[in-house]
């Protein structure tokens, strides 16, 4: 069986879709599974074990009719048996209909008239569960598996070397991801927590756990934030993984992950690191599983900056 999944959105959206891909591969181990994602999201599939090919198309770009025609032609040429889409627009449904794929699965909505199977979308669900519902027309009725990633061995080895270089290989460490608008999922609003608030939190750590290292994640998308934080807290350690596998491995070695509502938060869930996540306008129930290991702090105003450092610290020390 040849399957193509069209998954618009950022890296976070792709990671949330992994359990659906993994379950599909488990039920149909010989299936070829391809995905069509935005160019910014291709990097996510370094830590997926279930995908054969990652094709790119910028769904949010001002695409011409020729661009959409090229996408239809590319999909038609590969002769897929099944198409699955997380997009709910009528254009996405029409696109799948034009490909001529026999089984076209998506959500009920404006574009479902072009689908062969339309599944109800329940926005209050944890998003991985909502995605997993798309497998029901294929006879897969099992509960959604936990979020998981497959970290390549070289990335694990890099993280082990990085921990030695940072001097945290023989101790535990707190990992902080302060946010970046570039990596956030399509659901995210404001995803930057102010530097001065992080400073307050780090100083409290220094006071209560002076021997516990604090490591901050620096990526190309949040260099300005990290530079600003270093001005306030010059003694913090900085790690700069250059791919998502290395990032996942560094998160896996932490005893606690403090993160905004971004892709690293989903990686932390996938590697089972104790996580406290900050949310602005988005609903934590959609983006975090129910677990004592993954705790959410929701802004009372819908703006992440309005979460007080005291609220974060109470959650950290109170559990």
Contact 307, 193 (CB under 8 A): yes
Q: What is the pLDDT of residue 187?
A: 44
From residue 249, how far is each of 20, 45, 241 by CA, in Å? Answer: 22, 15, 9
Contact 107, 121 (CB under 8 A): yes
Q: How far apart are alpha carbons 107 and 122 in whole angstroms?
A: 10
Considering the entire predicted model, what is its pTM?
0.92
Secondary structure (3-state) at 34:
strand
Q: What is the pLDDT of residue 62?
A: 77
Which segments of the chain are extended strands (E)?
Answer: 2-6, 32-37, 53-56, 82-85, 103-107, 117-119, 174-177, 214-217, 237-239, 256-260, 275-279, 294-298
Q: What is the pLDDT of residue 60?
A: 80
Write down all domains in the chain, each with its CATH number in brackets: 2-138 (3.40.50.2000), 153-318 (3.40.50.2000)
* Low-confidence residues in the chain, pLDDT < 70: 181-191, 319
Q: How far apart are alpha carbons 64 and 62 in whole angstroms?
A: 7
Which pair of structure tokens corresponds to residue 201? Answer: 């939190």
Q: How far apart are alpha carbons 174 and 196 in whole angstroms?
A: 18
CA dihedral (60, 43, 264, 294) in degrees, to 10, reads 90
Question: Which residues are bridge partners to 237 per DSSP?
Answer: 215
Q: What is the pLDDT of residue 319?
A: 60
Burial of 91 (0-12, 13-18, 19+ CB in 10 A): middle
Q: What is the pLDDT of residue 167?
A: 93
Burial of 9 (0-12, 13-18, 19+ CB in 10 A): buried
From residue 98, how far is each of 3, 72, 90, 138, 197 by CA, in Å? Answer: 16, 7, 12, 21, 51
Q: What is the pLDDT of residue 191?
A: 66
The phi, psi pair for 122, rounded to 5°, reads: -110, 100
Q: How far apart are alpha carbons 248 and 173 in whole angstroms?
A: 15
């Amino acid at each position: 069986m040849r399957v193509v999944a069209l998954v618009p959105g950022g890296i976070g959206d792709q990671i949330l879709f992994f359990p659906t891909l993994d379950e599909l591969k488990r039920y149909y181990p010989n299936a070829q599974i391809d995905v069509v994602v935005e160019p910014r999201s291709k990097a996510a599939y370094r830590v997926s074990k279930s995908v054969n090919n990652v094709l790119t198309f910028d769904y949010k770009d001002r695409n011409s009719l020729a661009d959409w025609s090229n996408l239809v032609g590319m999909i038609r040429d590969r002769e897929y048996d099944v198409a699955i889409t997380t997009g709910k627009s009528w254009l996405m449904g029409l696109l799948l209909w034009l490909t001529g794929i026999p089984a076209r699965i998506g959500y009920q909505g404006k574009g479902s008239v072009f689908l062969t199977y339309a599944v109800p979308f329940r926005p209050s669900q944890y998003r991985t569960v909502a995605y997993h519902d798309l497998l029901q027309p294929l006879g897969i009725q099992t509960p959604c598996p936990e979020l998981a990633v497959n970290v390549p061995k070289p990335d694990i080895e890099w993280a082990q070397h990085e921990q030695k270089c940072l001097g945290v290989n023989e101790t535990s460490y707190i990992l902080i991801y302060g946010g970046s608008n570039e990596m956030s999922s399509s659901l995210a609003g404001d995803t930057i927590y102010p530097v001065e608030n992080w400073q307050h939190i780090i100083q409290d750590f220094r006071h209560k756990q002076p021997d516990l290292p604090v490591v901050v994640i620096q990526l190309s998308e949040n260099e300005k934030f990290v530079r600003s934080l270093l001005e306030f807290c010059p003694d913090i350690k900085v790690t700069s993984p250059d791919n998502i596998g290395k990032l996942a491995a560094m998160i896996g070695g932490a005893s606690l992950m403090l993160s905004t509502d971004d892709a690293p938060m989903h990686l932390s869930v996938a590697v089972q690191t104790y996580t406290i996540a900050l949310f602005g306008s988005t609903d934590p129930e959609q983006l975090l599983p129910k677990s004592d290991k993954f705790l959410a702090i929701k802004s009372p105003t819908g703006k992440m900056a309005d979460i007080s450092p005291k609220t974060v610290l109470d959650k950290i020390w109170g559990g």
